[in-house]
Amino acid sequence: MGTRCEGLRDSLSPIAYYEEYSHFRLDCLKIDDNKELSMSANEDLAKERARCDFNVSEITNILDGGIERTKQRKKIESIALSNGKCCDVTPEETLGPKERYENAIRKSCLYTKIVKDQVLTLTGLEVLGSNSSVLRRTADAFFKDISPFLLHLGMFVPTIMGQGTPEQQSYWLPRALDFQIIGTYAQTELGHGTFIRGLETTATYDPDTEEFVIHSPRLTSYKWWAGGLGKTSNYCIVVAQLYTQGKCYGIHPFIVQIRDEDTHMPLPGVRVGEIGPRMGFNTADNGFLGFDHYRIPRNHMLMKNSQVLKDGTYVKVASHSKLTYGTMVFVRVMLVNEVAFNLAKAATIAVRYSAVRRQSEKISGEPEPQIIDYVTQQHKLFVCIATAHALQLSSNWLWKTFSAVLADMRGGNTENLPELHALSSCLKALSTSDSAALIEQCRLACGGHGYMLSSNLPLLYSFVTATRTYEGDYTVLLLQTARFLIKAWEQAESGNPVTPTVSYMEEAVVGNKYKWNGSAEGIIKAAYYVAAGKISSSVTSIRKRMKNGKAFEDAWELTGVQLVAAAEAHCRAVICDVYRKETVRLTANSSPNVKTVMDQLNMLYLSHWALERTGDLLRYTSTTEDDIISCQQRYEELLAAIRPNAVGLVDAFDFPDEILQSTLGAYDGRVYERLMEEALKSPLNAEPVNRSFHQYLKPLMQGKL
Ligand SMILES: CCCCCCCCCCCCCCCCCC(=O)SCCNC(=O)CCNC(=O)[C@H](O)C(C)(C)COP(=O)(O)OP(=O)(O)OC[C@H]1O[C@@H](n2cnc3c(N)ncnc32)[C@H](O)[C@@H]1OP(=O)(O)O
Ligand SMILES: Cc1cc2nc3c(=O)[nH]c(=O)nc-3n(C[C@H](O)[C@H](O)[C@H](O)COP(=O)(O)OP(=O)(O)OC[C@H]3O[C@@H](n4cnc5c(N)ncnc54)[C@H](O)[C@@H]3O)c2cc1C
């Protein structure tokens, strides 16, 4: 897969091991004699590229955000990839947990050096913000799983930037950005992840020494989960309940040193370790952390939003009580981009593989078709390409919204924060949930070979399915959006103005039923009407329950299923709307064929969701069965229209093989050769007979056990 890296051979013991068994594989399996193993590219894939009718790089530029950004991305990628030391000779998933972690640290250091020496000097800090997707793409050439440094750049640095005073930033940021210290974000505890007001770690101010005493009063207060915490980080952001002058002021962020900067030993009063094997993230040393009356200086509390003065007086600086949650909002915004990128990778792998793979007979006796020619396969895959586009464009739009609200807040205006919170919550929830489900769909679309770790689909899934939970669980975040929607509905009902993303309510509260029209704009409007219908039903249920004597909180709780569905419908309508508008805007000056194929993908996405939500359309709009039949027909026509361009569309994601890291998805389509090459690297192939034969099998077979 990708280029092999000779330079690393002597740095790891497993590599010597591999070299040992690589002699064995040639002797024993004689793959050199196998005429089938060819070095030339797959012909079917070459034919697919020849039939693609649009300019692939035009779409690449659109997805990157313009030709200049494509150029910059490629430059950064080539800096990292030409380093020639990015990949492993031994697949990382065949290493034991310790070796795997050590290997991840080795690669993280290598990658960090490249970022520090070459990328940051080229791009400045922008690469950590709006342009951080470039870093994420490039990092994937180094890590099949996750870098233990992810939280350092993903949350430690952003928290200092977002929650620190200018003085604190100027002290901590240069050290953090230079990797003199490595940090993480320890908020979640054994006992609480969602309900952060219930966190139990305490930070009690002692005015005599001008220190905070950080303490974990019980097992459930131990920090749990933070990435890079177990073994890598020597500092971390600890979110704890702040006590001063005998009063609790709720959760606040503190910078806490946990390991000696020289020996890396845990400091006295700190208990830290790794939490053990998990479904994914196995190279990220997610950790636990407890404190025994551990003291830190007063100015290690991040004091941009609130302060504790030397004498212990608490001063609230921020104009909004939830600004301490700012890092979470930032990361939720980033995650939409993150999962769009991972879904694009899965779609690339599955579409290329489906063009190479031939199976079954459509007509008895005729050559086996490429599996991509089955309409059911197109149904599984083309929505993945379309969703990757939808999420990529929605993420760019969300980033712009986030930046605008941030700019307002710098001027003291927090008016648009609730809308940003509602939007980032539901977009994070839906994008992570859709992407995880569709990556799994890509894996299933690749049959048995999709189950191989070397396809990279299982790892992509295990990584992305975690995004549905972390940084706010799916249900919990949709319920946050629902709070905003219900309030907006009540505002619209009483004739007061509402914010732009819920302006559809103004028309819907009047009680009109929407008449179906199958155009893009018509489907989007129908989606908004479905959302309005569900919000209205939720409001009715809550009111009915309250009328029957329930308190608001109980009525809300009992209506939870409807509220989640309403928030989901709202968010789906927003994605459909943004995807449509951005497609039209971004292809305004494109060549006709690019415009056509982007429009087809967009219509496919809209029709797909209309068909998925037939029941809602029939219930909340005046859509008829005939309308659904014509929508289904249109959807099937779109599958056929997109089919010739499918490989071109995934090529437009422009993933180098080193980043894709997949036996099934490499550009040249040498699927079978790569599967065999990777199989031969299995440690079990290191010797013709495993010692367990002598220890167990032989005695069993000979009745001597
Ligand atoms: C080497 C490669 C390098 C690459 C570099 C770049 C990489 C980028 C990618 C980054 C990857 C990072 C990986 C991250 C790993 C996971 C990290 C974590 O999980 S960390 C752990 C993450 N953990 C979680 O995410 C925990 C999830 N839980 C929570 O966030 C909160 O508990 C809660 C929001 C659910 C409730 O909070 P609670 O205080 O109980 O609030 P109530 O419900 O009582 O509502 C009261 C009012 O507040 C309002 N409001 C609320 N929030 C906000 C807000 N943010 N804003 C504004 N307003 C907000 C709310 O609307 C309501 O308003 P109203 O209706 O009254 O008007
Ligand atoms: C791979 C991974 C990496 C992580 N990295 C970090 C990290 O670096 N730093 C960090 O601090 N944390 C991290 N986390 C923790 C993560 O943020 C939490 O797991 C997440 O916020 C969910 O909290 P929880 O685990 O307590 O789930 P719970 O809150 O216990 O949720 C369990 C179930 O209860 C439901 N539920 C909970 N509350 C409600 C409610 N109010 N209404 C309805 N349903 C509810 C949820 O929907 C869910 O189905 C990580 C987690 C994972 C999996």
Query: How far is 587 from 565, CA to CA, in rounded Å?
Result: 33
Which stretches does DSSP call E strand in 131-284?
Answer: 183-186, 202-206, 211-215, 223-224, 235-244, 247-257, 270-274
Ligand 2 close to Cβ of residue 493 (< 6 A): no
Cα–Cα distance for residue pair 134/118, rounded to 1 Å? 14
Query: What is the spatial distance between Cα 155 and Cα 237, in angstroms, rounded to a whole number?
Result: 9
Our answer on whether the CB atom of 194 is closer than 6 Å to any ligand 1 atom is yes
Residue 24's pLDDT band, with cuts at 50, 70 and 90, is very low
- The answer to whether residues 294 and 360 belong to one domain is no
The residue out of 633, 651, 669 marking a domain boundary is 651
Do 308 and 332 lie in one domain? The reply is: no
The single residue of 471, 568, 582, 673 carrying the catalytic annotation is 471
Q: Has residue 372 been placed in a domain?
A: yes
Q: What is the 3-state secondary structure (H, E, C) of 274-285?
A: ECCCCCCCCCCC
604 lies in which domain range? 327-651
Residue 428 CA, ligand 2 centroid: distance in Å:
14
Residues 419 and 538 in one domain: yes
pLDDT digits (tens, 9 = 90+) for 198-212: 999 999 999 999 999
At residue 186, φ and ψ (nearest 5 deg) are -105, 95
Query: What is the structure's pLDDT at 26?
Result: 38
pLDDT of residue 130: 57
Instruction: Compute the distance from residue 156 Cα to the ligand 1 centre, in Å.
Output: 15
The verdict on 312 and 352 lying in the same domain is: no
Ligand 2, closest atom to CA 278?
1
Same domain, 488 and 565: yes
Asked if residue 159 has pLDDT above 90, the reply is yes
Q: What is the pLDDT of residues 76-92, one digit of tens each?
A: 888 888 876 666 777 88
Q: Average of pLDDT values for 459-479?
A: 98
Atom of ligand 1 nearest to the CA of 111: 1
User: pLDDT category, 31, cuts 50, 70, 90?
Assistant: very low
Same domain for 305 and 366?
no
Which of the listed residues 651, 668, 689 is the one where a domain comes to its end?
651
Residue 303 clears pLDDT 50, i.e. is over it:
yes
Task: Kindly state whether residues 240 and 382 are assigned to the same domain.
Answer: no
Task: Output the pLDDT for position 245.
Answer: 98
Instruction: Please indicate whether residue 557, judged by its CB atom, sits closer than 6 Å to ligand 2.
Output: no
Q: Is 186 in the pocket of ligand 2 (CB under 6 A)?
A: yes
Who wins on pLDDT, 482 or 27?
482
CA of 325 to the centre of ligand 1 (A): 6
556 lines ligand 2 (CB under 6 A): no
Query: Do residue 564 and residue 616 come from a single domain?
Result: yes
Specify if 480 maps to a domain: yes
Q: Which atom of ligand 2 is least distant from the CA of 193?
A: 26
* CA pair distance 501, 482, nearest whole angstrom: 13
| Ligand 2 neighbourhood includes 475 CB (under 6 angstroms) | yes
In whole angstroms, give the CA distance from residue 326 to residue 334. Answer: 13
Co-location of 279 and 386 in the same domain: no
Angle in degrees, CA 333, 338, 343, rounded to 5: 130
439 domain-assigned = yes
Choosing from 625, 651, 677, the residue where a domain stops is: 651
8 pLDDT exceeds 60?
no
- Whether the CB of 135 sits within 6 Å of ligand 1: yes
Ligand 1 pocket: which of 402, 463, 480 to mutate (most atoms within 8 A of CB) = 480
Q: What does DSSP say about strands 235-244 and 183-186: parallel, antiparallel, or unpaired?
A: parallel
Please tell me whether residues 246 and 363 are part of one structural domain: no
pLDDT higher than 90, residue 2 = no
Pair (350, 458) in one structural domain? yes
Question: 226 C-alpha to center of ligand 2: Å?
Answer: 12
Pocket test of ligand 2: the residue of 256, 327, 476, 480 to mutate, having most ligand atoms within 8 Å of its CB, is 476
Average pLDDT over all residues of the chain: 91
Residue 274 lies in a domain: yes
ipTM of the complex: 0.98
Q: What are phi and psi of 209, to 5 degrees?
A: -105, -5
Q: Is the dihedral of CA 302, 306, 308, 309 positive or negative?
A: positive
- 3-state class of 129 per DSSP? coil
Is it the case that residue 690 has pLDDT exceeding 50?
yes
Q: Is the pLDDT higher at 422 or at 21?
A: 422
- In the predicted structure, residue 7 carries a pLDDT above the cut 50: no
Cα(429) to ligand 1 centroid in Å equals 12
Q: Per-residue pLDDT averaged across 172-188, rounded?
A: 96
pLDDT digits (tens, 9 = 90+) for 122-156: 766 665 655 667 778 888 888 888 899 999 989 99
- How large is the angle between the packed helices 56-64 and 592-612, nearest 10 degrees? 60
- Binding-site residue positions for FAD: 188, 227
Look at residue 15 and tell me whether its pLDDT is greater than 70: no
β strands within 6-120, DSSP E: none
Q: Which atom of ligand 2 is nearest to the CA of 560?
A: 43
608: helix, coil or strand? helix
Residue with tokens 């901590």: 172
pLDDT at 14 over 60: no
Cβ–ligand 2 contact at 591 (below 6 Å): no
* In a domain? residue 100: no
Per-residue CA distances from 637 to 480, 513, 633 (Å): 39, 29, 6
pLDDT digits (tens, 9 = 90+) for 547-579: 999 999 999 999 999 999 999 999 999 999 999
Q: Which of 256, 250, 254 is nearest to 322 (CA)?
A: 250
What's the CATH number where 307 sits? 2.40.110.10
Cβ atoms 569, 527 nearer than 8 A: yes
Residue of 537 and 129 predicted with greater confidence: 537
Tell me which of 20-29, 325-334, 644-653 is least confident: 20-29
Of ligand 1's atoms, which has the minimum distance to the CA of residue 149? 1
State residue 421's pLDDT score: 97
In a domain, 395, yes or no: yes
| Cα atoms in the 13 Å half-sphere on the side-chain side of 405 | 23
Tell the residue nearest (CA) to atom 44 of ligand 1. 197
How far is it, in rounded angstroms, from Cα 361 to Cα 348? 25
- Look at residues 64, 83, 120, 110 and name the one whose alpha carbon lies nearest to residue 2: 83
Tens digits of residue pLDDT in 324-383: 898 999 999 999 999 999 999 999 999 999 999 999 998 899 999 999 999 999 999 999
Who's near 518: CB < 8 A, 6+ residues apart?
627, 630, 631, 634
In the prediction, which pLDDT does 104 show?
93
- The ligand with the least distance to the CA atom of 480 is 1
Residue 94 to residues 11, 57, 685, Cα–Cα distance (Å): 17, 36, 12
Clarify whether residues 369 and 446 are in a common domain: yes
**Residue 530 contacts by C-beta under 8 Å, 6 or more apart in sequence?**
569, 573, 613, 616, 617, 620, 621
Is residue 408 in contact with ligand 2, taking CB distance under 6 Å?
no
Number of domains in the chain: 2
Question: Quick one: CA dihedral 247, 253, 257, 258, positive or negative?
Answer: positive
Task: Calculate how far, in angstroms, residue 560's C-alpha sits from the geometric centre of ligand 2.
Answer: 18
Which residue's CA is the closest to the ligand 1 atom numbered 51? 322
Assess if residue 241 is contained within a domain: yes
CATH of the domain at 502: 1.20.140.10
Asked if the structure places residue 628 within a domain, the reply is yes
pLDDT tens per residue, range 242-291: 999 999 999 999 999 999 999 999 999 999 999 999 999 999 999 999 99
Q: pLDDT tens across 423-466, in order?
A: 999 999 999 999 999 999 999 999 999 999 999 999 999 999 99
Mean pLDDT of 589-609: 98
pLDDT in the model for residue 124:
64
Active site residue 471: yes
